[in-house]
Amino acid sequence: MSASTPPHIPSARGQWGSRTGFILAAAGSAVGLGNIWKFPYITGDNGGGLFVLIYLVCIALVGLPIMAAEIMIGRAAGKQPVGAFEALHGGKTGWAVIGWLGVFAGFIILSYYVVVAGWSMDYTLKSISHFTDPIAERADEDAKRYRAATPLAVMRTTLIERRADHESTEPVAELRARAPKAAWNAWDKYNKAVEAALASGADADAARAVLFEDAAFAARVETAERLHAQMAQARARAKSDAEAYFGAMPDRQVRDEAETYQRRQHIAEEVGAAFGQVVADGWTATFWALLFMLATILVVAGGISGGIERVTTILMPLLIGIILVMVVYGMFQRGFSEAFSFVFSPDPSRLKASGILEALGHAFFTLSLGMGAMITYGSYQRRKEPLFKQSIAIAGIDTAVALLACLMLFPIIFSYGQEPGAGPGLVFKSMPLAFAEMGAGGMLLGILFFGLLVVAALTSAISLLEVVASYFIDQRGWSRNKAAWIIGGSIFIFALPSAFSFDPDFAMASWEPTFGKSFFDTMDYLASNWLLPMGGLLIAVYAGWFMPRRMRDAELEGLAPLVIRGWLVLIKYVAPVLVALVVLQKVGVLAID
Ligand code: PHE
């Protein structure tokens, strides 16, 4: 009779050994690739400052209350997500669907998470073998040769073109963002039609007229055309600025700059060749993913306090230590103040409306919310722990790490001439470049940095496997060992298509041309844009409106009435409405761009 037995009785279920153990494990789940890999690049993509501010608001208004709700549900039920809702209602209930969604999401997320973690392991090792002096030395030699053999005029032209490209990237991107995607699609279609007409000798004007019968289409093309002209102007302006700049520069300095540029190019090529390889080589990616999965399985098989808690209480302080070392290093870089103001000073002109929704979606991913990870971890907790304080501590650590990650990354990015808006490759492409450019010291930073990524990923992967495995332990009576190995093994098999996603020799590579996204990205998209926000919405609605009052009040007992009231407002109204907006945007009902 599960309904009448006090569910938090220790029994055969594991329990955290201490309060800090729980907080570190939960923070370990939250702090992961989302903080160090994803947050910096989406911050870069969304222009910094204002995006960060909105993200912080999302964490406070949506993330925190749902975090408390998940911990509360887990703690009250003493069960993992599928069983939790049944335990709270004393029998079958439709709310168990939240649990099923969570188990499914855990399976999906872990399957591509191990692949990214595997890349990080490979990069850690390569940092050891590749970032030794030779790359920098070879680059030096190559640059000297270039300087000796290249005519001054050629050097000047190369520098001008590069500077013009560099300076016009941002204004051009900004102009592009001023029109919706539909306008650019229309513009492409229009240009292709005109080209085709010209090529086949048909009448281009007639082709144009046919297309323009659709007034909406014509308006779109016009918008794009106007912006396109402005882009061309921006490029021309950048070009003439660059010409003036290098025209006035003494010859000697031009040679110096050209040499530096060549050196960078060389490094970029060599590092790119060495590092891009793991992504494009399915077997290597699989090997590392397997190793990482084995580590995850071993920890989960070790149990709650003996495995997860023990490992996270060692790894979390280590992780924070490494980050601090790297932030301190960043503070002494020339790019630090630029990086600081990029991350912290809000500039409305750089943010798109869709960035608001991206910030909210990311709040779920980064706090491990919406799939029951916190329900599961909460279920191994004794009652009467300070619920809100714990939630604040966990979310606080996660947020601090995300901000620190930006403060360690962007100074290096800015100091070594990389682009902040480089996209998902920011960590995997730009950072190795910057490290290589630093020479021998970069080798050490590279090891630290990618090692950090592996550690952060491991403590999150553990929680993902735990959510799925605990279903089989709690609901199906499997032993922990059996569950960890069988479930971990199955997820690994499911990770193979992700590992081979970018390998041109395998059929998986054709997923992208067929479906528009690689298999890997499809999994990430499915989980972060659908499963987590939907799960989060359901959890908020459940905790705010449907959780049995008696159970909820028991969990809230002893907390300040004002705090409880504030939480209720957030969980009942604010969080569901905001999340519903994201879901509607994803469905396409709301077209905010
Ligand atoms: N929070 C983890 C990260 O930021 C990812 C994660 C999502 C882990 C959901 C568990 C559950 O990388």
Q: Whose CA is nearest to atom 7 of ligand 1?
A: 368
Distance between terminal CA atoms of the chain?
52
Instruction: Using a cut of 0.85, tell me whether the model's pTM lies above it.
Output: no
Q: What is residue 425's DSSP assignment?
A: G
Tokens of 43: 């911050």
Query: Is any ligand 1 atom within 6 A of the Cβ of residue 35?
Result: yes
Q: Which run of H or of E encompasses 84? A: helix 81-89
Query: Is any ligand 1 atom within 6 A of the Cβ of residue 30?
Result: yes
Q: Whose CA is nearest to atom 9 of ligand 1?
A: 368
Residue 119 and residue 478: Cα distance in Å, rounded? Answer: 32
User: 3-state secondary structure string, 264-320?
Assistant: HHHHHHHHHHHHHHHHHCHHHHHHHHHHHHHHHHHHHHCCHHHHHHHHHHHHHHHHH
Closest approach atom of ligand 1 to CA 33: 12
Closest approach atom of ligand 1 to CA 373: 11
Q: How far apart, in Å, are the Cα atoms of 453 and each of 30, 245, 291?
A: 13, 41, 15
Q: What is residue 145's DSSP assignment?
A: H
Residue 217 and residue 497: Cα distance in Å, rounded? Answer: 39
Query: Is any ligand 1 atom within 6 A of the Cβ of residue 43?
Result: no
C-alpha 29 to ligand 1 mean position (Å): 6
Q: What is residue 432's DSSP assignment?
A: H
Burial class (CB in 10 A: 0-12, 13-18, 19+), 543: buried
Tokens of 148: 């000796």
Residue 268 and residue 252: Cα distance in Å, rounded? Answer: 24
Closest to 391 (Cα-Cα) out of 63, 56, 99: 63
Query: Is any ligand 1 atom within 6 A of the Cβ of residue 431?
Result: no
Determine if residue 382 is left, alpha or beta; phi over 0 gives left, psi from -120 to 50 gives alpha, anything else beta: beta
Q: How far apart, in Å, are the Cα atoms of 155 and each of 146, 256, 265, 365?
A: 9, 10, 14, 47
Q: What is the pLDDT along the chain (593 residues), one digit of tens a residue?
A: 344 444 444 446 889 988 889 999 999 999 999 999 889 988 888 888 899 999 999 999 999 999 999 999 999 999 999 999 999 988 888 999 999 999 999 999 999 999 999 999 998 988 887 655 577 788 889 999 999 999 999 999 999 999 999 888 888 988 888 888 889 999 999 999 888 888 888 887 888 888 888 889 999 999 999 999 999 999 999 999 999 999 999 999 999 999 988 988 888 888 877 777 788 888 999 999 999 999 999 999 999 988 999 999 999 999 898 889 888 888 888 889 888 888 888 877 777 777 888 888 899 999 999 999 999 999 999 767 889 999 999 999 999 999 999 998 888 888 877 778 777 778 887 788 878 877 777 788 888 889 989 999 999 999 999 999 999 999 899 999 999 999 999 999 999 998 888 888 887 777 877 777 788 888 888 888 889 999 999 999 999 999 999 989 888 888 899 999 999 999 999 999 999 987 787 777 666 55
Q: Which amino acid belongs to residue 428?
A: F
Residue 403 and residue 508: Cα distance in Å, rounded? Answer: 35
Q: How far apart, in Å, are the Cα atoms of 282 and each of 108, 279, 285, 491, 492?
A: 19, 7, 5, 17, 14
Closest to 32 (Cα-Cα) out of 129, 131, 143, 116: 116
Tokens of 284: 């290597």
Q: How far apart, in Å, are the Cα atoms of 69 and each of 81, 243, 384, 593?
A: 12, 60, 15, 31
Crossing angle of helices 440-474 and 19-30, rounded to 10°: 110
